[in-house]
Structure 1
Amino acid sequence: MALTVVSSAGHAWRLTERIGSGSEGVVYGVEDDRPLVAKLVPDPPDPAAYRRRLARLVRQRREPRTVRLLAATPPRAAWPMALVRTRNAGADGYLMTDMRHAYRPLAQLLFPTARRHFLPDATWETALAAACSLARLLADLQAEGYVVGDLKPDNLWVDARGAVGVADVDSWHFRDGAEVFPGRMSTPGYTAPERIGVPAGTPPESASDNFVLAVLVHQLLTEGLHPFAGHPADGTDYRSYDDNVLRGRCRLLNRLSVVLPSSAPPADLLPRRIRELLRAAFGGVRPTAAVWAEALAAETVPGRLRTCRVDAGHVHTVERPWCPWCDLADRGADRPGGRAGRVGPRVDGTAGTGQQRNGADGGRGEVWQR
């Protein structure tokens, strides 16, 4: 039987197909001339508090700080538009913009196989633009007092130009007057170390979002590689990304701390400034989203990117004297635009032999690949 949702003002919408579900809610299509979807949360821990949270977010949609955030086209956030409840089942939820109308899931840009299928024209420049757009979005949210708390690929969207949008606004940490609505969610692999293992409902802070932003920037610029990926080099068993986070197992912090496959993109494909910021984010004073946005934008100015003369789909930083994607293709790695086992001249004019080169950060760039 089809579900119908009703707003407090008495407007009704018929729900159509089930689009997806998460840890708390289910998203449905909405029968409407506008691109809308409905998120229903059938069993929140505190139904009254959840309804109050949604009502405040709907009201904030008309406030200047939110109007500024939503002024872009397409919208950068799937903001709650109306509080609704199912007519029969009594589940609470809200209507929001259908991000599929203008975006694709971020995962379709992160990983080579999905990117080749869904975004075949995307290059490393697109990923760089997406990282910059994400940083700007988070900087704008932080400037208005919002903490995402559960920043992760599943909540993020991207278009063919690299513009990024965000969903699941109802889980954010925010204030409304004197009342605080704490963030409720976190996701393994996308949780700052100080939040790993803390009791559910512990309010997140902007610094936690800044840590996860760095994780996502790394993934965007290294074909989805998590910065804390890899088996412990000391021979202990791999447990999880979070375990590596807590123990500081990260190639950028200590290249001898983890073992990664030879198909992993090398660390020196990242511009030097970006590597410095990542190291700070994971092992020092975390750069803010605004700092990230400025640094990433600087990498997109004319003259900072180079296109491979062998494959126009290979774009990389000008700091790297030869094409890292051709190197990976020589090893048989699956790279968009690349041809495994390609034989021919590189950008630097050398033969495609797959030989190791010295990394820009000193030492052999492949030491961690044992």
Structure 2
Amino acid sequence: MGLTVVSGHGHTWRLTEQIGSGSEGFVYGVDDTRPLVAKLVPDPPEPEAYRRRVARLVRQRREPRTVGLLSGTPVRLAWPLVQVRTAAGAAADRVDGYVMPDMRHAYQPFSHLLSTSARRAFLPRATWATALRAALALARLLGELHAEGYVVGDLKTDNLWVDEGGRVGMADVDSWQFRDGRELFPGRMRTPGYTAPERLGTATAAPPDTTSDDFALAVLVHQLLLAGLHPFAGHPADGGDYRSYDDNVLHGRCRIVDRTSVLLPRSVPPADLLPRRLTELFRRAFTDPAHRPTAAAWAEALAAELTPGRLRVCAVNARHVHTVERPWCPWCDQAEQGSDSYPDQPREEA
């Protein structure tokens, strides 16, 4: 028998298949005419605090600072619409959660834009220009959230969505850090590879802030523009063992900062495919926490790279789009090393 959830006003929804899971909860389809899903969190660290957090987010959906974030089509945020609990079982055993928009209705998982095979299968018209537009959309969305007092705290590929035009959506709103009146609802999650160095190295993470979000944004923009390559990927060039992205973060091992710090396969996209202004932003983001570029600074720089005349299409492969600052095609250079991030789509047989 499927799960049923009920709101505080007595409205019930029948849940269908489980469609996702994370470190805290599970996401289910909802049997409804509208595109909805439900997130259930079986064992939050502080159940009462979690219920209060979701209740405040549901209420804030109607507040001026949030209304603008939720405007437009398609919806950019999987915002909690109504608080629910499972209907069956003893009261102490019921699970809390909320109903939210189903992002699958308008988007693909963000990771589909970072993988050559997934791009070909799910976003077949995507080019480097699409990656630039997605980076711009993400930077603008994050900048708007920061302006309204929200800190994502655990910004990563798993809670992001993208469409073929480069529009971006975001989920896991219940993990954000925000204030409601005098009460602070702290962010508590962190993910390897997307955590700023100042929040690493301790058993208890320092609370997130806008600058730690800006570090994760820089990582994600790098992944978008270098066909999925993480900026802290690579084996230590000093002969030490590779441990993790976070270990490379703590020790400053990053190709874009110091080419001699890591060893990478020759087939990865060349670092010089990036425009100079973006390269400089990456260097600041990964070396200088006190002057880390903000989401607004990223948005301004990325928008400039999308202005007319700033992009060039390769004469050999029309799917190879690159900055005019590069005299020849970086994707053809990559293909010569045995891997093409934007290959020609195979022609359909007659």
Q: Which residue of 1 aligns with 2:18?
A: 18
AA in 2 matched with 1:312: A
SS in 1 for 2:174: helix
Which segment drifts farther, 190-199 or 45-54?
A: 190-199
* Offset at residue 330 of structure 1 (A): 1.7
Q: Which residue of 2 aligns with 1:71?
A: 71
What aligned pairs does 1:189-268 form with structure 2 within 5 A after superposition? Answer: 189-200=193-204, 202-268=206-272
* Offset at residue 301 of structure 1 (A): 0.4
Contact 1:184 1:200 in 2 (8 A): no
CA distance in 2 between counterparts of 1:197 and 1:24 reads: 22
- Say which of 315, 328, 331 aligns to 2:321: 315
Q: Does 1:111 align with 2:101?
A: no
* Offset at residue 201 of structure 1 (A): 6.2
SS in 1 for 2:68: helix
CA distance in 1 between counterparts of 2:120 and 2:283 reads: 30
Q: Does 1:84 align with 2:93?
A: no
- Say which of 129, 150, 154 aligns to 1:146: 150
Q: Which residue of 2 aligns with 1:350?
A: none
After superposition, the Cα gap between the structure-2 partners of 1:43 and 1:64, relative to the gap in structure 1 and judged at 3 Å, is same
- Say which of 173, 180, 183 aligns to 1:176: 180
* Offset at residue 203 of structure 1 (A): 2.0
TM-score, scaled relative to structure 2:
0.95
Q: Deviations over 1:100-154 (max 9, x none)?
A: 0000100000111111111011000000000000000000000000000000000
Contact 1:42 1:92 in 2 (8 A): yes
What aligned pairs does 1:295-306 form with structure 2 within 5 A after superposition? Answer: 295-306=301-312
Q: Which residue of 2 aligns with 1:52?
A: 52
- Say which of 161, 165, 169 aligns to 1:165: 169
Contact 2:54 2:80 in 1 (8 A): yes
* Offset at residue 328 of structure 1 (A): 1.3
Q: Which residue of 2 aligns with 1:332?
A: 338
Contact 1:326 1:338 in 2 (8 A): no
AA in 2 matched with 1:324: P
Q: Does 1:123 align with 2:127?
A: yes
Contact 1:30 1:36 in 2 (8 A): yes
Q: Does 1:282 align with 2:286?
A: yes
CA distance in 2 between counterparts of 1:295 and 1:208 reads: 19
SS in 2 for 1:69: coil
CA distance in 2 between counterparts of 1:210 and 1:268 reads: 23
CA distance in 2 between counterparts of 1:211 and 1:165 reads: 19
Which segment drifts farther, 217-226 or 323-332?
A: 323-332
SS in 1 for 2:212: helix
AA in 2 matched with 1:206: T
SS in 2 for 1:191: coil
Which segment drifts farther, 196-205 or 3-12?
A: 196-205
Q: Deviations over 1:165-216 (max 9, x none)?
A: 1000000000000000000111001100011133446421100000110000
CA distance in 1 between counterparts of 2:335 and 2:231 reads: 21
Please, which runs of 5 or more residues in structure 2 have no aligned partner?
A: 346-350
After superposition, the Cα gap between the structure-2 partners of 1:70 and 1:287, relative to the gap in structure 1 and judged at 3 Å, is same
CA distance in 1 between counterparts of 2:151 and 2:134 reads: 20
CA RMSD of aligned residues (A): 1.0
Contact 1:123 1:313 in 2 (8 A): yes
After superposition, the Cα gap between the structure-2 partners of 1:260 and 1:186, relative to the gap in structure 1 and judged at 3 Å, is same
Which segment drifts farther, 133-142 or 330-339?
A: 330-339
CA distance in 2 between counterparts of 1:23 and 1:273 reads: 37
CA distance in 1 between counterparts of 2:287 and 2:188 reads: 26
CA distance in 2 between counterparts of 1:234 and 1:201 reads: 29
AA in 2 matched with 1:109: L
CA distance in 1 between counterparts of 2:344 and 2:33 reads: 42
Contact 2:192 2:245 in 1 (8 A): yes
Q: Which residue of 1 aligns with 2:41?
A: 41
